[in-house]
Amino acid sequence: MLFTSIEFFIFLPIVFALYWLLNRHTKWQNLLVVVASYLFYGWWDWRFLLLIAFTSACSYVSGLLIGNGRWRKTALWGNIIVNLDILGLFKYYNFFAAELANLLGCSGDSVMLHLILPVGISFYTFQALSYSIDVYRGKMEPTRDVVAFFAYVSFFPQLVAGPIERATNLLPQFQRQRKFDYSMAVDGVRQMLWGFFKKVVVADNCAVFVDDIWANISGQSSLNLAMAAVLFSIQIYCDFSGYSDIAIGCAKLFGIRLMRNFKAPYFSRDIAEFWRRWHISLTTWFRDYVYIPLGGSRVSKVKVVRNTFVIFLVSGLWHGANWTFLAWGAFHALLFLPLILLGKNRKYTDTIAQGRWLPSLKELGQILLTFVLTALGWILFRSQSIGEAIDFYTGLVSGGWSGFNPPMRTLVFVALLLAVEWLQREREHGLDMSGIRYRAVRYTCYLAVLAVIFVYGVFNETFIYFQF
């Protein structure tokens, strides 16, 4: 079920009403969450439910065994291996089997399995694994409340595209009584509204131009290709962060707080700051469960280089079974490496131009350079093959200057987005107007955004990150 579908707009108020009718009955609320979440997820294909139920059961049982003390390491690694094997089978088997077959001179078709990639399998697998690891590390006690645990893994707002929550944050919220918080719910609706604007107005309008250009790279001018690279950078940000805003806002309706997943990443002053602000739930997951266990930055320079490449290559591979994703990860590792070797990877941890209306010229230059480097990397991410990416890069420098057809209306939406996000960069979302006293001004803004969504929204029937 998509957030932008009619079915969801029928589903959400029904679940919301039933949920709060069960107020003070936490276990029944949790059971409703599980049932609603399984309905939400099974809307695509009921067979997907078998996988998420199996993943949840394995992680729940592993937590109990770890807590028992006798089988701690076996239970942990057994759960990790089982779940990563499932993830690898569905997501990576065909890619690596075909590559190996081609290397051996065999037909790739002979080893392919006709498997449907379950939506969001990477997200809920990582969320379930973090529970087992945190129990093993002693960060939390294993839960015996199976319903609360299944609700934690399957909570429908963030089930298929995150944020990837930690059990230490989300699970306790399902284990305690929730009370309806009117101000929290209203803010959730505002955040959902901003998420829909980013998704259907900005991202999906950008997609129209981007898809047209990418379908005929060889016939495009350098300017059109450059514009496509810029607009795809905006598209993927608004598509994914828009989903995250809808998910986080929707969770607030149920008295649940999810972690923030994006913090104005395109206002970053270097690549390290970009990665602290982009897909925060995934980058911190890899930091805590992969990078730091490898030694992080507190090892020799050679191992720091190794760890940096491991984390970015794994991140690239997480996004999909394609050499383009690995190349995208390696590209960012190369950009990140000088900063971490020079000890400048945490130079910018504050909000840019804090307390000022505008950035300095130096900050503006840093923002533009970081954005250009990021956009060049997104070309790899968007391309279907390394060859297609090379054609795109070649066209950027040799495609000529004629035939430039920028989508002016889309550029207006992008400019509006950037202006709002700049002004609201210290707040959780673009429609957080708690600082504006006059209700008439606030509601005029809300109605204006709603009108733009209905008039100019494209309502593309997908989210980019569903494929991951």
- pLDDT tens column, 129-174: 999 999 999 999 999 999 999 999 999 999 888 799 999 999 999 9
Where the chain has pLDDT below 70, the residues are: 99, 105, 107-112, 461, 465-468
Which of 148, 180, 212 is where one domain is finished? 180
Q: Is residue 321 part of a domain?
A: no
Instruction: Mark whether 258 and 355 lie in a shared domain.
Output: yes
Catalytic site positions: 319
Position 440 scores a pLDDT of 87
Position 466 scores a pLDDT of 66
Q: Is residue 342 part of a domain?
A: no
Q: Is residue 31 part of a domain?
A: yes
Which of 180, 203, 237 is where one domain is finished? 180
DSSP state letter for 143: P
The SS3 of residue 401 is: coil
Nearest Cα residue to 149 out of 47, 254, 53: 53
Position 92 scores a pLDDT of 81
- Whole-structure pTM value: 0.92
Position 461 scores a pLDDT of 66
Tally the domains of the chain. 2
Instruction: Mark whether 155 and 221 lie in a shared domain.
Output: no
Q: Is residue 199 part of a domain?
A: yes
Question: How far apart are the C-alpha atoms of 373 and 332, rounded to whole Å?
Answer: 9
Q: Is residue 256 part of a domain?
A: yes
Instruction: Mark whether 162 and 58 lie in a shared domain.
Output: yes
Position 96 scores a pLDDT of 75
Instruction: Mark whether 62 and 211 lie in a shared domain.
Output: no
Position 435 scores a pLDDT of 76
Instruction: Mark whether 214 and 107 lie in a shared domain.
Output: no
CA distances from residue 395 to 17, 222, 401 in whole angstroms, order as listed: 54, 6, 11
- Burial level of 311, CB count in 10 A (0-12/13-18/19+)? buried
Amino acid in the structure at residue 232: F
Instruction: Mark whether 170 and 46 lie in a shared domain.
Output: yes
Position 439 scores a pLDDT of 84
Q: Is residue 334 part of a domain?
A: no
Position 220 scores a pLDDT of 85
| Peptide bond just before 163 cis, omega within 30 deg | yes
Q: Is residue 253 part of a domain?
A: yes
Position 422 scores a pLDDT of 94
Instruction: Mark whether 80 and 202 lie in a shared domain.
Output: no
**How many CB atoms are located within 10 Å of the residue 31 CB?**
16
CA distances from residue 460 to 196, 207, 457 in whole angstroms, order as listed: 11, 9, 9
Parent domain of 154: 6-180
Instruction: Mark whether 102 and 192 lie in a shared domain.
Output: no
Question: How far apart are the C-alpha atoms of 380 and 393, rounded to whole Å?
Answer: 9
Which of 180, 211, 232 is where one domain is finished? 180
Instruction: Mark whether 48 and 142 lie in a shared domain.
Output: yes
- Burial level of 17, CB count in 10 A (0-12/13-18/19+)? exposed
Instruction: Mark whether 11 and 140 lie in a shared domain.
Output: yes
CA angle 425, 437, 181 (to 5 degrees): 75
CB 421 within 8 A of CB 264: yes
Give the dihedral sign, CA 302/304/306/312.
negative
CA angle 463, 125, 462 (to 5 degrees): 10
Q: Is residue 423 part of a domain?
A: yes
Instruction: Mark whether 263 and 381 lie in a shared domain.
Output: yes
Position 350 scores a pLDDT of 87
Half-sphere exposure (CA, 13 Å, Cβ side) for 181?
A: 16
Instruction: Mark whether 152 and 261 lie in a shared domain.
Output: no
